[in-house]
């Protein structure tokens, strides 16, 4: 599994509208692509202008093959709520993505 992490700079007063519009625009767009597993939205209690999206993909190939030509249309639908972001990806370690700590 691959995690796509998006850090979005969004003023606090626009966050609710931004998150709502993203759920109407980008989430369905991502869901149309094979390998999309889900998406979570996180708001930082310490950085009041940051929204973080954690997007789960089945594999790095699924994430990398998301059609680049879809992005401009989806971004255009975000309209005045399109915000700057930083994108990172993390490949979950295999075979076991969860560490067990023995005491």
Query: Using one digit for the tens of pLDDT, what is the confidence trace for 30-63?
Result: 999 999 999 999 998 899 999 999 999 999 999 9
Higher pLDDT: 100 or 67? It is 67
One of 3.40.50.970, 2.40.110.10, 3.40.50.460, 3.30.70.100 is the CATH number of 2-91, namely 3.30.70.100
Q: Which residues pair with 20 in a beta bridge?
A: none
Cα–Cα distance for residue pair 22/16, rounded to 1 Å: 10
- Judge contact between 55 and 1, C-beta under 8 A: no
Residue-wise pLDDT tens digits, 7-19: 999 999 999 999 9
Cα–Cα distance for residue pair 80/94, rounded to 1 Å: 41
Full-model pTM: 0.86
Ranges of each domain in the chain: 2-91
Predicted local distance difference test score (pLDDT) of residue 96: 58
Cα–Cα distance for residue pair 75/70, rounded to 1 Å: 9
Does the pLDDT at position 75 exceed 80?
yes
Which tokens sit at 80?
């005045």
């Amino acid at each position: 599994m691959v995690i796509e992490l998006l850090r979005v700079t969004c003023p606090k007063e626009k966050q609710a509208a931004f998150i709502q519009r993203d759920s109407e625009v980008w989430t369905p767009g991502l869901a149309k692509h094979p390998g999309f597993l889900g998406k979570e939205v996180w708001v930082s209690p310490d950085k009041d202008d940051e929204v973080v999206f954690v997007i789960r993909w089945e594999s790095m190939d699924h994430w990398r093959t998301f059609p680049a030509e879809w992005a401009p249309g989806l971004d255009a639908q975000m309209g005045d709520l399109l915000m700057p972001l930083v994108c990172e990806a993390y490949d979950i370690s295999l075979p076991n993505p969860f560490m067990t700590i023995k005491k």
